[in-house]
Amino acid sequence: MAIPPGIELIFKDTEANPEAKNDPDAKNAIFPGPTQSILPNAFKLPFITLLLLKLLQQSPFGVNLPTWAWVAALVSVHPANWIVSTLYNMHRVKKEAAARGAILVPRVKGGIFELIGKIRNGYMAEGFFEWSRQYGQTYIFPIFGVDRIMTMEPEHIKAILATQFDDFHKGEIDDQFNSLLGSGVFNSDGEFHRNMTRPFFSKVRISDYDVFERHAEETLSVLANRLAQGYPVDFQDAVARFTLDSATQFLFGKAVDSTSAGLPYPPSSSSSYPSSSLASSSSSETYLTHPSTKFVTAFAQGQQALAFRGIRGKYWRLFEFWKDEAAGYRKDVEEFVNPILDEAVKSLRRKEKGDMESGSGSMKEVGEEETFLEHLVKVTKDKKVVMDELLNILLAARDTTASLLTFSVYVLTQRPDIVARLKSEISEKVGFARRPTYEDTREMKYLRAFLNGSYFQCGYSIFLMHRREDLWGPDALEFDPDRFLDERLHKYLIPNPFIFLPFNAGPRICLGQQFAYNEASYFLIKLLQKFDNFSHVLDVQPSQPPPEWKPEPGTTKGRDKVTLFSHLTMSVKDGLWIRMENVHETLEEGQK
Ligand code: HEM
């Protein structure tokens, strides 16, 4: 899973896998920090303290403490335990490291307070990047007394994802994500969910471009209409709907038609834009009250709540003592998914009836015509299990590819030279009149390199690893798809493939990788066939990096004109507001 910066990295679980301790290769792997210390839960310690004080009072010594001393003892028991266990753990780690001949991971100074300062400055990733320049590619940063390990080291990431896969598990993440995602392929260990999901990613299924055609056409025409009215558009919102509709069509056999909600209007005062009857409150209301908008918002806010849990780590329940912050969002999400599920059950029953009458059909195997949802409904009668699985896969399929397309188009607004290269490849391989085919997209090497370059998506250390100059060369921070095509490919990536991991690696590599490449390629070809002159509309872009950030060599500062936002996936904070011109209009202009 893409773990955003701030979420505790999967840790080496020597407790669960005692053999890992004796593994010689594990010596130089990320060393387990005090993260695993046994800290008491909220009530156990005060209760034991109370019991001891009571015993002391009733003992032959008859120690009678004044009320304030009882209160002081109860209040200080947690901080005291924290100090003692932290010191003990530091000592234990040092001793164990010496015994293994391992190097201790450096610890950043300042921890949470420094991190909060960096987040306030607007760019969390730049904070992590700065630490990597100061402390190296692997470091510990403590949050609320719990150590987090961050790494951008391909060898360590390879160990976590592939070579020492069994030594690592998703651990607390599973617990933190439960109230929104339940248990499903994305946040569960083990092979069960993956095995159930895998058959739906056969080549035939992922190269069925009819799914993309319908939804790409719808999305592009909604965008064109709004642009024709003179308004900029939030491209991020539009592609999140395109990927939701495509994913639901692909997985459930029926799209949820979220594109029919329309598009939001720019957040700033509409005075600088044409007054249109469509901008009237009724049309905005349709957008706001559309069931898919409620779903999209609840799903995003739910993920944000999970990201906060990640930052709070093992103490997250204390912060949600009175209220589960994600449960409400899950309810809203269920409200939207429930009718889809009921419809799938009904359609399955109809099919079963038909199959029984005709004497055909297998209840065990995945048929070519069967949808993922139908398969789930067959495998289990437990509605919660089906719902969990659906939400997991929707998260995997929707937000990730929407993020890729959003950042791709952001690049198009900044780099007319890249737009020209992409258009020239389209002209050579597909032309501007017909639909792209699976074979076309496979042939389009520059488009693939462009998509590879656009992977802003993965948070945690992958995000920063993709920006390391020692791994990618002195121009690592430049957006340059040619690095996947020219001599740099042979110099950096081919000898060291673990430096590029947008889809993860090892036994839990993304199942939707080819689907995502196909979907994004298809959409971008259609977009570029139809539009030109992409521009980022800064006067309505709500969130922008601090103006005092001047471009600084070796940093990401001053490069981006949008603020990044990350929960389980990464997005542009408050949308990506752009303009683009219809190719036909541009031609007419040019001919005048
Ligand atoms: C640009 C688009 C995408 C990116 C960058 C991406 C990335 C990832 C990553 C990093 C993981 C590993 C998560 C982990 O366990 O830590 C993953 C898992 C997964 N992805 Fe994707 N993904 C994308 C699109 C998709 C799509 C479109 C689908 C489905 C239609 C999909 C289905 C899955 C599934 C089912 C898993 C779980 C695999 C498992 O845990 O065994 N992904 N993806």
Query: Per residue, what are the HEC states of 503-562?
Result: CCCHHHCCCCHHHHHHHHHHHHHHHHHHEEEEEECCCCCCCCCCCCCCCCCCCCCCCCCC
Comparing CA positions, the residue from 430, 390, 152, 421 lying closest to residue 254 is: 390
Token pair for residue 499?
């430096």
| Host H or E run for residue 197 | helix 192-197
Residue with the nearest Cα to atom 43 of ligand 1? 510
pLDDT for 375 equals: 82
10 Å CB burial of residue 360 (0-12, 13-18, 19+) is: exposed
Low-confidence ranges of the chain (pLDDT < 50): 1-40, 269, 271, 275-280, 361-365, 456, 458-460, 590-592
Q: What three-state secondary structure class fits 378? A: helix
Rounded to two decimals, the ipTM of the complex is 0.95
| CA 576 to ligand 1 centroid distance, Å | 23
Q: 71-102: per-residue pLDDT in tens?
A: 888 888 888 888 888 788 778 878 888 888 87
Q: What is the dihedral of CA 358, 360, 362, 365, to 10 degrees?
A: -130
Comparing CA positions, the residue from 215, 220, 286, 284 lying closest to residue 249 is: 215
pLDDT for 468 equals: 86
Residue with the nearest Cα to atom 16 of ligand 1? 1
Per DSSP, 39 falls in state P
Per DSSP, 398 falls in state I
| CA 510 to ligand 1 centroid distance, Å | 4
| CA 401 to ligand 1 centroid distance, Å | 9
Task: Mention every residue, 6+ apart, whose C-beta is less than 8 A from residue 482.
Answer: 449, 488
How far is 55 from 78, CA to CA, in rounded Å? 20
Is 458 annotated in a binding site? The answer is no
- DSSP-assigned beta bridge partners for residue 151: 138
Angle subtended by helix axes 111-120 and 124-135, to nearest 10: 130
pLDDT for 132 equals: 86
pLDDT for 272 equals: 53
Total Cβ atoms within 10 A of residue 116: 14
pLDDT for 10 equals: 31
Q: How many helices and strands (H and E) does the chain possess?
A: 25, 7
Q: Top-level CATH class of 196-466+502-591?
A: mainly alpha
Phi, psi for residue 515 in degrees, rounded to 5: -60, -45
Give the amino acid at 471. L
Side by side, which strands form the sheet with 531-536? 233-234, 577-582, 531-536
10 Å CB burial of residue 310 (0-12, 13-18, 19+) is: buried
Nearest atom in ligand 1 to 194's CA: 41
The pick from 460, 510, 571 for probing ligand 1's pocket by mutation, whose C-beta has the most ligand atoms within 8 angstroms, reads: 510
Token pair for residue 542?
């709500």
pLDDT for 225 equals: 93
Q: 516-537: per-residue pLDDT in tens?
A: 999 999 999 999 999 999 999 9
Per DSSP, 364 falls in state S
Kindly list the protein residues whose Cβ atom lies closer than 6 A to any atom of ligand 1: 1-2, 185-186, 194, 197, 247, 393, 396-397, 400-401, 404, 457-458, 502-504, 508, 510-512, 515-516
pLDDT for 359 equals: 58
How far is 223 from 408, CA to CA, in rounded Å? 16
How far is 195 from 508, CA to CA, in rounded Å? 11
Give the amino acid at 52. L
Domain ranges of the chain: 18-195, 196-466+502-591
pLDDT for 459 equals: 33
Q: Has this prediction a pTM greater than 0.90?
A: no
Q: Within its chain, how far is the Cα of 562 from the centroid?
A: 18
